[in-house]
Amino acid sequence: MLTNKQVQQFREEIDTAKNPLFFFDDDQDGICSFLLLYRLHKEGHGTIVKTIPNLTALFLRKIQEYHPDKVFILDIPIVDQEFIDQAKVPLFWMDHHPPLERHNIKYFNPRLAQPDIYIPTTRLAYQIAQNKKDLWLAMVGCIGDYHMPDFKGEFIKQYPHLLKKSAGLDQAIFDEPIGRLVRLFSFILKGKTSEVNKCIKILTRLQSPDEILQQQTSQGKYLYKRFENIEEKYQPLLQKALKIKPQGKLLIFIYPTSNWSFTSELASELIYRHPNKVVVVARKKSNNYRCSIRSKTIIIPELLEKALVGIEGYGGGHEYACGANIQEEDWQQFLENFKRELL
C-alpha cells in the first residue's frame, strides 16, 4: 500500500487539478483506477493506452490536444524518459509493476519499498479515493488483476448477490456474478475507439453494478448488449481452446488474425482449467505473434527473458502473467527456447 504521506500527496494533486489528463492501461485494473480517481471531481480527460505497452513520445499529442495542468499515469508499466522530458507538465505515475528508474516524475509504486508485494493499481486508487459508493469498481479492478482485496467482506455486505463469502479468487472470477462483471469490463474495452470511449463515458456516470448486470438503466443495457455481442465472438474460440491437449508442462493455443484479441481472457480461462501447466495463447497478426502467458506456480518473467535471447521480440509483466510479441520468423525458435527453460 501507499504510505499516508503518499496518499495525502496524491489526493491533494487530484483535488487541485483543474484540467487533469489521465493515461491508463487497457484492462480492468487500468480502467477502474481511472474511474475511481476521475469520479472524485469528474474533471479532465481520460486516454486509454492500447496496443503499445508503454507510454512513448507518441502520446505527447494528447497533451497538445487537451492542454492539461497535470497528467496522471495509471497502471502503465513503462513510461519512456523521452515522454517525461517533453511533456512540460507535472506528471504523477502510479503503478504496481516492477519499478523503473525515471527522472522528473513523481512515482508512486509500493514495490519501491516492498519489491515482492503485489497490489493492483486499483487498490492504490481506492486507497486515495475512499469513495464507498465506488467499492464495486474497486472490486472489479482488483479481481480483474487477479487479486482478492482486503475489503472483500465489506463488498459482500453491500452486494451479497454478487459474491459468496466462501468464494476464493478463481471462483470469484469464473463462477460468481462479480466475475461476469469483470469479463464485461475487459470486453467493452475492445473494438473501435469511438465505441470504447462511449463505454468509458457511460462508466463514469453509473452508480451501481446492477445497472449493468440487471440492465436497470438504458446505459446499463447498452453496456450489457455490447458485452453480449463480443461474448458471441469469444465463446467459439474458448471452445476450441478447451480441446487443446498440453505438451508436457506447456499448453499452447494459437488462433488466426481477427478483429478481436482475446489472448488474455483465453489464457486466464485455460490456466484455471489447467493449474499445473504453463499456458501460452498467441494470436497471429501481420508478421508477429502476440501472446499471453500464464502460470499458477512458475514465475514467468525470468524464463521469458531467457527465452527471448536472440529472438526478435519483447515481453514482460507480472510474476504469473506476462505478455510477449514475437516476430513470425522467430516464433518456433522462441517456443523451443521457452520449452527448454521450463525443463
Alpha-carbon distance of 44 to 54, in angstroms, equals 22
**CATH 3.90.1640 location in the chain:** 4-225
Counting Cβ atoms within 10 Å, is residue 246 exposed (0-12), middle (13-18) or buried (19+)?
Answer: middle
CATH 3.30.420, applies to 4-225: no
User: pLDDT 10s digit of each residue in the chain, 343 long?
Assistant: 999 999 999 999 999 999 999 999 999 999 999 999 999 999 999 999 986 668 999 999 999 999 999 999 999 999 999 999 999 999 999 999 989 999 999 999 999 999 989 999 999 999 999 999 999 999 999 999 999 999 999 999 999 999 999 999 999 999 999 999 999 999 999 999 999 999 999 999 999 999 999 999 999 999 999 999 999 999 999 999 999 999 889 999 999 877 788 999 999 999 999 999 999 999 988 889 999 999 999 999 999 999 999 999 999 888 899 999 999 999 999 999 999 998 8
Alpha-carbon distance of 64 to 98, in angstroms, equals 29
Beta bridge partners of 21: 45, 71
Structure letter (DSSP) for residue 99 = P
Alpha-carbon distance of 30 to 72, in angstroms, equals 12
Task: Please report the DSSP string for 174-243 in residue order.
Answer: HTSHHHHHHHHHHHTTSS-HHHHHHHHHHHTT---THHHHT--SHHHHHHHHHHHHHHHHHHHHHHHHHT
**CATH 3.10.310.40 location in the chain:** 244-342
- Amino acid code (one letter) for 306: K
Q: What is residue 161's three-state secondary structure?
A: coil
Are 66 and 21 in contact by the 8 Å Cβ rule? The answer is: yes
Are 70 and 41 in contact by the 8 Å Cβ rule? The answer is: no
User: How is the chain split among helix, strand and coil, in percent rounded to 5?
Assistant: 50, 20, 35
Phi/psi of residue 191, nearest 5 degrees? 100, -160
| CATH code reported for the domain at 244-342 | 3.10.310.40
The pTM score is: 0.91
Say what angle helices 218-242 and 263-273 make with each other, to 10 degrees: 60
Cell digits for 115? Answer: 519489491
Are 108 and 95 in contact by the 8 Å Cβ rule? The answer is: yes
